[in-house]
Amino acid sequence: MSKTRSIGCYGGPPPDLPDPEREIWAYDGALAILLGQLLRDVEGIPPEHRPAWWNRRVEELRTQAMVSDLFFDVALGLAAEEREELAELFEDTAARLRDRPPRTPGQADDWHLVFRGDHAYDVGPIAELGQALSALLRGTLPAPPPGTLWLYGAPGGRTTISPR
């Protein structure tokens, strides 16, 4: 099992070399918590008020929350206006996470999320990851320093890594 995950917004197969303006890396535990919270948030919305595309994409989001070694194309094959809805959902979830204390595996409700150890996860970097996914969906993520990719969800917040 990997500790980090590659996340892109390509809308198709990723290129051989990562595009630093369309791809980031994230700690898998942070992504699992973020996606688990997003799923709980949207499942709490009455079905008639959920995005029209939700039922077509919810299983992919669940899989991405539970399996730590898959590439995650956050675009999910959605049209531009649907990606904007998903970006707003990530922003809302990030805001909710900021209002909560650190999360531990025991606070993950019934989700089979990826956790490493039994320590608490600071929600600040997880919320920052949610904001980054929102920006990635909108094409507004700032470029990382040359020769690097952003890494989100790390203790202490965003940092950079060298592409493989």
Report CA Rg, the chain.
Answer: 15
pLDDT at 116: 52
Confidence at residue 107, expressed as pLDDT on a 0 to 100 scale: 56
pLDDT at 69: 86
pLDDT given for residue 1 in this prediction: 43
C-alpha closest to that of 102 among 33, 32, 3, 25 = 33
What's the pLDDT score for residue 111?
A: 46
CA dist 79 to 104, 138, 139, Å? 35, 12, 14
Q: What is the structure's pLDDT at 73?
A: 96
Check if the beta carbon of residue 140 is closer than 8 Å to that of residue 154: no
The total number of structural domains that make up the chain: 1
In the numeric block, which tokens belong to residue 124? Answer: 């600040």
164 burial level (CB within 10 Å; 0-12, 13-18, 19+): exposed
pTM: 0.89
Helix, coil or strand: residue 150: strand
Q: What is the pLDDT of residue 117?
A: 54
Domain that holds residue 53: 4-12+21-161
Nearest to 94 by CA among 67, 65, 127: 127
Give pLDDT, residue 23.
96
What pLDDT score was predicted for residue 110?
44
Give me the tens of pLDDT residue by residue for the chain, a chain 164 residues long: 458 999 999 988 888 889 998 999 999 989 998 999 999 999 999 999 999 999 999 999 999 998 888 899 999 999 999 999 999 999 999 999 988 765 555 554 544 444 555 566 788 999 999 999 999 999 999 999 999 999 999 989 999 999 86
SS3 content of the chain, % helix, strand, coil (to 5): 45, 15, 45
